Amino acid sequence: MKSSLHRRNRGLRGTLAALGAAVLGSALALGTAAPAHAAQNIDPNAKGSITVHKFEEPVTPTGLAHDGTQQTTAGLTPIQGVTFQVQKVNVDLTDSTKWQGLENYTVAQAQANLTGTPTSVVTDAAGTAAFPNLTVGLYLVTETAAPSKVVQKSAPFLVTIPLSVKNDWLYDVHAYPKNTVSSVSKAIDDTKANIIGDPISFTLTAKVPNLPAAQALTAFGFVDTIDSRLTYQNATVTVAGLTLAAADYTITAGPNFKVDFSASGLAKLKTVQGADVKVVINTVINSIGDGTIKNKTQLYVNDPKNLVDSNEVSTPWGALKITKVQKADTTKTLAGAEFEIYATDAAGNKTGNALVNPKTGTTKFTTGTDGTVSVDGLKVGKYIVIETKAPLGYKLDSTQRPVTIVAGSTATPVQLQVTNDQVPPFELPLTGSTGIALFVGVGVALIAASFLLAAVRRRQQRA
């Protein structure tokens, strides 16, 4: 009987070894714990459990054994949202003869010999999926779904309840499979953009995935659909700690932008796992549409069809319409007024050079015959508008007028009305000449003097 137990233990140890090499192949073990049952014989009526702990592949392999006991996972990054399925294999492990040769039982055999209803559990925030109340038997554990950031699902693996460990039986088994994950972020730089034709750049960042030594890096690249309101200019690719050659990657330029690493580039990436790969895309804005330009990028690792989305970035734009009118009568619009527009600093003061009118290539924005001039694209923010030339016959008003641009289309521009006084006329004489006016004045004085002389004579006669 004792030798039979030893034989069974050796078989289970073989099974566990298989679990370590292929089943839990990516599993982690970071410590030890006492078996749940410390008995020499299997209890066929006992209940056990399988708890799967899902973590990202670490940069440096732990090098520790994985024996089914619960481990300390400090420093590891759990993966939430991975679906595991557990189903019993039609092998009766309450029969001692079925344990013989179990170490040679394969996943493929198990997949063709399942029984009962499978149970699926999704890992929680701690990366844990628990399957309690399992009867004695052989179980197939399969990762059936994972977030898009998971580069490759872990391989299916077999677990016995109980599991032999250190000459005892473990009924509550813990497995620590790892996944290689990938992620990508996108940042926008529109700090140099104020008006149509100005530059906007995007930086795409992804880390070279941490892969098990036996797993090859077969594909790595970025996909970015550039908004039609942006015109592609050029792009650069860099990897921290690497010097890339032109042959290490290809760039597909234009609106359907792509970066694909070649075989030589992939070989280089594998040597710097965890390093940042950066792609900078340079564009210029050509129109504003509805006023908000949104964009995100995608990354693929090993499978070009499994695209991981980045965060979404956006740049908000609006429009401005300047109307020039007569101050005395604002229904009368004025053509020929010229304006300059300036960006402002944090204090609201104008800064830098006047913005260039994309329609003329100059800094002048001139009102047309209807008295208006439209600026069909200004980034959201504060600006200063200054009149630099008045319409003919009107006074120049060079007041610095602040204007705040809000997001919107060219159909709903921010309105700015600027009035002008007419140049005042010269004072004109009341008659035809200054000589006639003088003559009339002398005549009035003579008449007044004659009336005064007559009044003096009358007083003298009375006396």
Per-residue pLDDT tens listing for the chain (463 residues): 333 333 333 333 334 333 333 333 333 333 334 444 445 789 999 999 999 999 887 766 665 557 888 888 888 889 999 999 999 999 999 998 999 878 889 999 999 999 999 999 999 999 999 999 999 999 999 999 988 888 778 889 999 999 988 888 999 999 988 878 888 999 999 999 999 999 999 999 999 998 877 788 999 999 999 999 999 999 999 999 999 999 999 999 999 999 999 999 999 999 999 899 999 999 999 999 999 999 999 999 998 998 999 999 999 999 999 999 999 999 999 999 999 999 999 999 999 999 999 999 999 999 999 999 999 999 999 999 999 999 999 999 999 999 999 999 989 999 999 999 999 887 666 555 555 555 556 666 777 667 777 666 666 666 6
Fold of 2-181: Immunoglobulin-like (2.60.40)
Which residue's entry shows tokens 């008995």?
39
Task: Output the pTM of the full model.
Answer: 0.73
Q: Please report where in the chains the tokens 């965890």 appear, as a residue.
A: 274
Architecture of domain 184-311: Sandwich (2.60)
Q: What's the CATH class of domain 316-420?
A: mainly beta
2-181 shares its CATH topology with 316-420: yes
> For the chain, which residues make up each domain, given as ranges?
2-181, 184-311, 316-420
For residues 85 and 119, the answer to whether their CB atoms sit within 8 Å is yes
Q: How far is CA 218 from the centre of its chain?
A: 26
